[in-house]
Structure 1
Amino acid sequence: MKEDEDYCSEEEAVLIVHKVSKKFTRSLKRTLLYATVDIMWALMPFLSRKRTDADEPVRLRKGEFLALKQVSFRLKKGDSVALLGVNGSGKTTLLRLIYGIYPFDRGHIEVRGRIGALLAAGVGFHSQMTGRENIYVNAAIIGMTKAEVDATFNDIIAFADIAEFIDAPVGTYSSGMRIRLGFAIVVHADIDILIADEVLAVGDGAFRKKCFDRIDYLKSRGVSIIFVSHILDQVKRTCEKAVYLRKGNMIAFGDTEEILEMYKRDNPGV
C-alpha cells in the first residue's frame, strides 16, 4: 500500500477502502439458501468468524464467485477518483459497497463524512409520490434536515428544471427528468463525498455542462468525487486519480492520465 501512503496518509483520507472483497451467487435459489445460513451463523457470534479479516481468503460455496478481490485505495478531501473498467469489472459493486447498499465479505471501508450518491435513474424515488414529496424523502436519506431542504428547495427545482411537473407523480417523469431531479437533490446537500455512476452520460449537452459546472463548484468547496463513466474525456476532465478494475481485481491506482493510457492499451477501441 506504499502508493496509497505516498498519495494520501490515513489522516488525510476522506475515504479508505482496504483489501475489500465481495462475493455473489449466480443462482437465486442458492442466494436465498446461503442468506438463511449466514443469518443463522450471525446469530451465533461465538461460532462465527470475523468477516472483516482482510487477509483471510474468502470461502466460496457452490455457485458463488468473487465480484471484487482485495481492492484498496484512499481518497483525499477535495480530490476525485474515477473507477475504470469494462462492463462486469466490479465498478458498480464497489460503489454500492462504499455507499452501504451491500455488505462486504472481507476488508474494511471507512467513509468520513456525509455521502450522496447517484447510482441510476430513479433509484430511491417512489413512483406514486410527487416530485415535491420525493425531494424531501431523498434528502432525508442523505441526511438533510427539513430546514435544510426548505432552504434549498427552490434551487433544487430550478436546477432540475421541472417546476411545472413538481406536483406530478415521479412515475410520470421521463428518465432524464428523474436524473435531473436526483442530481439536483444530491448536489444541493451538504455532502463530503459525491458518487456518480454513469448518470451524466444521459441528458442533453446543456444539462451535462450544468452538472459539470456544479461538480467543479463542489470540488472547490472540498467535496470529493467518486466517478464512473465510459466517456473517457469526462473522466480526464473530472478526476485527478483513477482505479483500474478488471474482473474484480484492482489492476492499478494512480494519476488519471497514466491509468487511462494503461486502460486504453488493454482495451483498444474504448
Structure 2
Amino acid sequence: MSEDMHYCSDEEAVVVVEKVSKKFTRSLRRSLLYASVDILQALMPIFSPKIRDDTPVSLRTGEFLALDKISFRLKKGDSLALLGVNGSGKTTLLRLIYGIYPFDRGRIEVRGRIGALLAAGVGFHPQMTGRENIYVNGAILGMSKEEIDRHFDDILQFADIAEFIDAPSGTYSSGMRVRLGFSIVIHADVDVLIADEVLAVGDGAFREKCFTRIDELKARGVSIIFVSHALNQVSRVCEKSLYLQKGKMIAFGDTEEILALYMADNPGV
C-alpha cells in the first residue's frame, strides 16, 4: 500500500500529474477581487515574481487548498479510481486533468485524445437537439464531421434514444443525457476516458452495457480515470486507486488494498 506514488516512468505514462495544487476562495466577492489581481499580474509579469513548481502555495484571506501536491502517473490501458468522501477533491482533480480549471502549482500532461463524462448532460446545450449536440460534443472531442457521420448510427444504437434524437436535449431525463454522452465519448476513439459518477443514473441493463464497453476500451489500451461512490463499481473497473482526504493524497496502490483502508477510515460508506 505504500507503493511508489508513480509506479511507472514518465516515458511510459499517458497521464502525468506531478505535485499539483489547486486553491479556491470561499467568498465570491474575494474570488472576483483575487481574479482581477491575478489577471493584472499575468498581463504585467514585472509585478509577478517567478515562482518555482516546488514553492508552497500562498493562501490569501478566504482561500483554501482544494488539492495539495498530488502526484501520480497512469500507463496506457490502466484504470485508476479516485476515492474519497464528498469534498475530498476528486472532481476538482478530474477537472484539472481535463483542462476545465487551471492549477496553481505542478504539472499535468495528457498524451493523446481525452474524453470526459463529468456529470449528466454537462456540455449539452438544452435548446439544441440531441442530433446537434452529438456533432458539437464530437467536435469538442476532436472528431471530424466525417468521423461523426461514420459513427452516428452506432452512437444512436448504443444510447437507445433514436426516437428522441431531434428533440431538445433539455427535455431529456438525466439517464438519457448520460446514455448519449457516454455513447459519444466511447465512439470518439479516445486515449484517456474520465468518468465521474456517470453510472449512478440509468437502469441496470444500461450500466451493464457500459461496463462491457469499458472492458473493451481497456483491452484496446484506453486509460480510464473513474470516480464512483459505488465501491463494487470501483472494484470491477479499476486495478489501481488513489485515496484523497481533504485535498491530500493519503494512499495509492492496488484497488482492494486502498478500498480496505478507505472503508476502515470511513465506516458505513
Taking structure 1 as the reference length, what is the TM-score of the superposition? 0.97
Matched, 1:27 2:24: no
Q: Give the Cα separation in 2 of the matches to 1:211 and 1:266.
A: 30
Q: Give the Cα separation in 1 of the matches to 2:261 and 2:90.
A: 17
Matched, 1:101 2:93: no
Matched, 1:3 2:4: yes
Which runs of 5 or more structure 2 residues have no equivalent in the other structure? Answer: none
Quote how far apart the aligned CAs of 1:122 are: 1.0
- Aligned partner of 2:236 in structure 1 is 237
SS in 2 for 1:144: coil
Q: Give the Cα separation in 1 of the matches to 2:79 and 2:145.
A: 29
Alignment of 1:147-162 (within 5 A): 147-162=146-161
Q: Which structure 1 residue ranges, 4+ long, deviate > 3 Å from structure 2?
A: none
Alignment of 1:27-176 (within 5 A): 27-50=27-50, 53-176=52-175
Quote how far apart the aligned CAs of 1:48 are: 1.8
Tell me the matched-pair count.
268
Which amino acid letter does the alignment assign opposite residue 82 of structure 1? A
Asked if structure 2 preserves the Cα contact closer than 8 Å seen for 1:54 and 1:70, the reply is: no
Deviations 1:164-214 (A, max 9, x none): 000011011111111110000001111000000001111100000000101
Quote how far apart the aligned CAs of 1:50 are: 4.4
SS in 1 for 2:45: coil
Which amino acid letter does the alignment assign opposite residue 25 of structure 1? T
- Aligned partner of 1:193 in structure 2 is 192
Which runs of 5 or more structure 1 residues have no equivalent in the other structure? Answer: none
- Aligned partner of 1:248 in structure 2 is 247
Q: Give the Cα separation in 2 of the matches to 1:2 and 1:171.
A: 45
Which amino acid letter does the alignment assign opposite residue 198 of structure 2? V
Asked if structure 1 preserves the Cα contact closer than 8 Å seen for 2:3 and 2:253, the reply is: no
Quote how far apart the aligned CAs of 1:106 are: 0.4
Deviations 1:38-62 (A, max 9, x none): 00000012332346x3310101111
Deviations 1:196-248 (A, max 9, x none): 00011111000000001010010010000000001111101110100000000
| Aligned-CA RMSD value | 1.2
Q: Give the Cα separation in 1 of the matches to 2:130 and 2:32.
A: 35
Q: Give the Cα separation in 1 of the matches to 2:133 and 2:250.
A: 39
Which amino acid letter does the alignment assign opposite residue 209 of structure 1? E
Q: Give the Cα separation in 2 of the matches to 1:35 and 1:157.
A: 42
Q: Per the alignment, do residues 50 and 126 of structure 1 end up closer, same or farther by CA in structure 2, a change over 3 Å counting?
A: farther
Deviations 1:118-149 (A, max 9, x none): 00011100011000000000011111111110
